[in-house]
Structure 1
Amino acid sequence: MNKKWLFLFISIFLILVLAGCNSKKQASSESSQKEVVFGFTPGPYSDQVKKGIEPYLKAKGYTIKYVEFNDPTQPNFALAEGSLDANVFQHTAYFENFKKENKLDLTEVIKVPTAPMGIYSDKHNSLDEIKSGYKIAIPNDPPNVARALRILELAGWVKLKENYDPITVSKRDIVEQKVDFSFVEVEQAQLPRTLPDVDYALVNGNFILASGRKLSSSLQLEDPPFEYQNLVAVRTEDKDKQFVKDIIKAYKSPDFKKIIESDGSFEGFHRPDYFK
């Protein structure tokens, strides 16, 4: 073999070796992510991760970090731009509406035990006390307005039009009210603070718990359908990565289920299907 061909052979060999090393390095980098940053709003979902998910992930060599947001619009933006690896704070209806409006490439990967929305009151002990002129506080974002109205229909306070869309139903779809009460629309995180000033308030369970109240203090709790159960969200590009697979395994682990069933702080939570 002359020098020309020898040089060409060595060059090709080195290119192939370097390409293989780079490919292995990239694959190793993707599979060896050992820090996972979770985002939350105030409430019980960070406690679920600290008590039941973090121990599982730590045993697999992960380091877990937590970021809490007071503004519920921020965790999805933070996830999309890369400062979070996952967030846990929202239900499917809110998530799908938010990512569509803001063109975010995010994906739901698993449901989590969910604190239901309920009807609460500091002034009344029964739903039967509803009278004309009463003020009813409800969330001001469309997905949770829809959720509140469905609960009010189950309580017998309103009647909604037939064949309404369960995700987009609004006050325009009310065809009958039990009495002439009025709605007060409030940002959902502020709803517990309205209780001294209104007759009844429909409040998401995580915000009730964050305010120091118990789910058991509600006058009626929902049994949330699929679209109102909370979830873990990740970037779509990450959904098949090992750290996401390990998060899913952690939620489905016997130890996590045991914590949810035995810890009194999760009493009243809706259990996902994988608990059955």
Structure 2
Amino acid sequence: MNTSMISASVTMGQLQRKLDTISHNITNSNTTGFKRREATFSDLLSQQVYNQHDLSKEGGRLTPFGLRVGSGARIAQTALRLDQGSLIPTDRELDFAIAEKNHFFQVQSSENGEQQNRLTRDGAFYLSEDPDNAGLLTIVNSNGDFLLDANGNRINLPLNFQAINVSNTGGLSVTLDDGTAQNIADLSLIRVIKPQLLESIGDNYYRIPDVATLGFAEQDVFEAVAAGEALLSQGSLEGSNVDLGREMSELIATQRHYQFNTRAVSMADEMSGLVNGLRR
């Protein structure tokens, strides 16, 4: 196949992946706590072609003797960008926004009958009856997964309370019917040191992979946020960090690059047709 056709067709496939990433960002521009991804490219293998080895026959030549021929480009990385999203006031007691970009809530979900811990920036929570503790309430998200405390346990609240209060350091307390305050728990927040290792598993969730198999120690990848360090805002939610203007500009530029490569394929096909049509 024509070299230019190979280069263009390979690049088109990778540009489609970038278009998919941009589309995913735009689709989730209104998703609470969503973090955008950014695709970056790198060159594939290239070769140096020397079309004339006898320099004596090329006197007066102005163009270079060698030609560097590439094989197109590929997606080098689809990087997760944890830039802080804007805080949106909701005045709702169970809406919590994290104001630190590398921090995540830890929730417990069930997968194939096993309890798994997940990370999320979505701070919209609700009250539900604790299935394991009759007469007590617990805090869940929209998927029914349990919000965990600093000890990795579900958070239990009594039935006889009037208000829920969360400090900016993550301490959760309730005001009882008699007006007294009762400390309940400290919210579990995880600081991710190497966010590019996080695995996106859908539903605005992330998972920490088996770091040992990647050659890392746990303390080099994530750590629990110490008491008093969290930066939470009750009555607010963190919006997506997607900039629609930027994403639309990237979308238009990527489409133009795609069109350029489709034109290169068409031109290579036309040139092949001309060559095949030559007659002595």
Q: Same fold (TM over 0.5)?
A: no
Structure whose CA Rg is larger? 2
* Richer in helix (by share): 1
* Richer in strand (by share): 2
Smaller-chain TM-score range? under 0.3
TM value normalised by structure 2: 0.23
